[in-house]
Amino acid sequence: MQTRNIVATLLLSSLSIFNWIAATAPPNSAPITNAKFKRISFRKLIFIGLIFGGQLSFAHAEATDNTLTLNTALKRALERNPSLKVFDFRNTALAGQLETANLKPAYELGLEAENFSGSDELSGFGGVELTVSLSSVLEMGDKRAARRGIVSNGRSVLDAQRQVESLALLGEVTRRYVDVLAAQEQVSLAREANELAIQTLNNVIKRADVGATPDAEVKRAQAAAAQARLTLLSTQQQLAYLKVSLAALWGETSPDFGKIDGDLFHFGSDVEFERLYAKVEKNPAIQVFAAEERLKKAEVRLAKTQSRADISWSVGVRRFEENDNSALVAGFSMPLFSSKRNSGAISSALAQRNEVFAQKEAALLNMHTQLFRAFHNRKQAILTAKELQNTIIPALEEALKEIQTAYQRGRYGYLEYVSARQELLSAKRTLIESASSALTYGAEIEQLTAEPLSATQHGESTDLSGSVQ
């Protein structure tokens, strides 16, 4: 089927769902168990892949007639790519850390014996004093809540990292999908070049048969036809490799599809750079820094709680064997100057928090550079492709027809005939490369801005529930 734009709405659904996942989670919620994590987060990731069927005009729910759609490729990658499975294990680790953080200080049972096996009247066990005690620690400064805050914010960082990994995976699937789509066009062009080479050979042979051209031109045409066949074989091998590369994203080594569905030559409208850069802070990669900032603040809070000294206490019973009496014993202890001794840990935690701020600024600056490069390269690629489509290739096709007719009548030589053919093939090859670059840069822009170009160019924004405002 003829399709619309491959990349214009590629990341709309995924980014809306990413924002919805982050917004619907309680701000101070504790980490959830591994099973629940799979049921909720992974299910939403699968939904990201499924929803493309409604957003992209060319994406069927399933591949048909051995044709792979982008929707199917995204779904397979989200389900099977091992890079996302590690988050299940990390979530299990966080669940264990939460269990540990919730523990109260342990109780200790002690047994102490004094005044036995000494000298004179203290020999043996006649004068022994036995003490059985129970002891523990009173945590001060709400340390347990601070520990829980560390784990909770660690869960937020994990969720943000999973969003980044998922978005990066979707972007990589798109890029490889575009590569395969461009390779399919290259194979079609190589077939066309092969047919033109055979046609040229036949025309040269006809002229040679009537003595209008030397045998040397026949041999040159034969060599050109042989080279065209080799080029066709080479492009077919490249297409086979790119299919394997795409299938590897969902763990397959032998692709089960013959071709992919899509339109390489539809680009959508341009968008102003300033409007695109205004969306950069919505990128999940930036949201990771926000989550890490909250985590570092929780670590600062935990470090400050250490300035409040814990109180160790004990109670017990002491038995005096000498006079067969017993008595209660109790005691407590606490370290001195805890606040002063903990100042270094607080300074270290504050420095790590400030480091996150600097990293965020550096990331935004780097993303500005990447966006600027992708924006202008896409614009140049679209300009080149449209000029080739609308002006250059039609003119070269007409020129080839005229030169071919003139060559058959003896008005042009072999060199002019072959040059016209090569100029047309070169222009079509450049068109494929430019179109592929435009779509690839478009996908990069969407990944950087966390919003599809289709929504931006129409002035639309998406709320956290996924509806367009």
Domains for the chain: give ranges and CATH numbers.
12-104+139-307+342-457 (1.20.1600.10)
Q: Please report the pLDDT score of residue 194 as a whole number.
A: 95
CA distance 169 to 198: 43
> In this predicted structure, what is the pLDDT of residue 246?
94
**What are the Cα distances from residue 164, in Å, to 19, 159, 292?**
12, 9, 14
Where on the phi/psi map is residue 140: left (φ > 0), alpha (ψ -120 to 50), or beta? beta
Q: Radius of gyration of the chain from Cα atoms?
A: 36
**What is the spatial distance between Cα 272 and Cα 269, in angstroms, rounded to a whole number?**
10
Residue 281's closest CA among 368, 376, 354? Answer: 368
Q: Per the structure block, which two tokens stand in for 439?
A: 């779509």
The Cα–Cα gap between 27 and 149 comes to 11
The reported pLDDT for the residue numbered 58 is 37
List per-residue pLDDT tens for the chain, 469 residues long. Answer: 333 343 333 333 344 434 433 443 444 444 434 444 343 344 444 433 433 333 333 333 344 458 898 888 888 988 888 888 778 777 788 788 777 877 788 888 888 877 666 555 556 566 677 788 888 887 777 777 787 787 877 888 888 788 888 878 888 888 999 999 999 999 999 999 999 999 999 999 988 888 888 888 899 999 999 999 999 999 999 999 999 999 999 988 888 898 898 888 888 777 888 888 888 877 778 878 777 777 777 777 777 777 677 778 888 888 776 777 888 888 878 777 766 777 777 788 788 788 888 888 888 888 889 999 999 999 999 999 999 999 999 999 999 999 999 988 888 888 898 999 999 999 999 999 999 999 999 888 888 876 766 544 433 333 322 333 3
Both tokens of 331, joined, read 């005691």
Residue listed under structure tokens 């969003």: 163
Global pTM reads: 0.69
Q: Largest alpha-carbon pair distance within the chain?
A: 139
Which pLDDT value is given to residue 461? Answer: 37
